[in-house]
Structure 1
Amino acid sequence: MNPLGESIRVLMNRRALNGAQLAQEIGLSQTSVSRILTGHSKPKQVTLTRLMKRLCVGADEEQMLLRAFTGTAAPAREEPVDNDAQNAAEERERVERWLEARTQAIIFKQAVAHELGKRAIPYTQDVCKGIASVDFLIEAGGKHLVLECKFNVSRDFDKSLGIAKLLLDSFACETVLVVVPFSGTFADAARALAPAVRVVTVAEAIEYAASFRQENAGVQT
């Protein structure tokens, strides 16, 4: 069974398109489209985006195609797209968006480090332990506080909370702070994990870290 191919066929019928027409409109050869439809290959991200733009009308159809895409068998190789100017421009735009997001995350992390330094709060940055890693680890009186930075709160925030929960055990800490640039309803999902996992702004994280240091500075282990 080929869920992606079947979904594409359904949408092609709805849009009254044949394989040759679809191939021309999304920048693939007719053979490549045929291989995708039969499950012998899978589309690259840029091709999937074009398929959605051409075939999908509404969020329901987009979700149908996305679900089918994620269910594509892993062994299928990616079907190459034609090396034309449009493909090159779209690929460059995708890479630039990824670089911008990564740069923003790094700048945000540097800002958190700067604020910790201003308050003279000692920390260790980029700590790895087994398969786990944290952005900032603060120790006081034998206790640990973890700070995990999350700049892009609109993407995979639930996954960030899941990671924070795992870090509680990996780093034997009572609290993990997920540091975000601003408050919002996205933090509601963390309420069930409180007080072990807290979603806080930079200012709130610094105050929490300062209190943590002060409360545990004299604790002996």
Structure 2
Amino acid sequence: MGACKAPISNLQLPSSSPINKTPENITRRFFLFSLPLCASSSIVTTTPLLVLANNIPTVQANSCVARAESYDPVNRAEKEASATLSRRISEAIDLLEKGREFQAQGDFIDALLYFTQVVENYKDFAFSEYARVGRALALYEIGDKEEAIAEMEDVSISLKGYPEVHAALAAALYVDKHAPLLAENQFTIATLLDPHYTDLSYVKETKHWPPSLISSLQRFITLS
């Protein structure tokens, strides 16, 4: 028979047994549970924290993208002001084009009506000066030559270098104001910028001048 085994109650556990509650083991456990949560958690398991740490930049990036997409540097008042300005510009251009269409058709009364609307209601736009040129030509044709010449003289300053107004003013000054020297100066400016104004067919067919102003230009060119 084999050796008789000693009763379990009489067995002595070795001092190195992990369940032997020596002061050293108690101290190690106390140290373990006294660590900060983040440190002790990393000792127990690191996988969940690593996953969370890896997800933080992605969440932050998505949040930044969402904020950037929703950000609008233009406020509501600025948008409304821009829309109003765009609408006014469109209205003014339409009126100017209609005035030119009637001018091309030889209807200077209706042309005067549209040019005047641009001048009176949209004078804050720079291109309203071109409507003043059309208005001056129409005024000249319907017989209001004094106002037409005053308009031409004013526009020749605000649109200095615009050949059409200089040529028109030259013709009017020569015939209606009997001022050949002033007319010559204006016509010199016009033809230096655009020699076409020496051609009567150009002002008639391309620029659609009224018959009365074409006649005045012809008299100036021929000095008659």
Q: Same fold (TM over 0.5)?
A: no
Bucket of the pairwise TM-score, normalised by the shorter protein: under 0.3
Determine which structure has more spread, i.e. the larger CA radius of gyration: 2
Task: Give 1 or 2: higher helix fraction.
Answer: 2
Task: Give 1 or 2: higher strand fraction.
Answer: 1
Greater relative contact order structure (CA < 8 Å, 6+ sep): 1
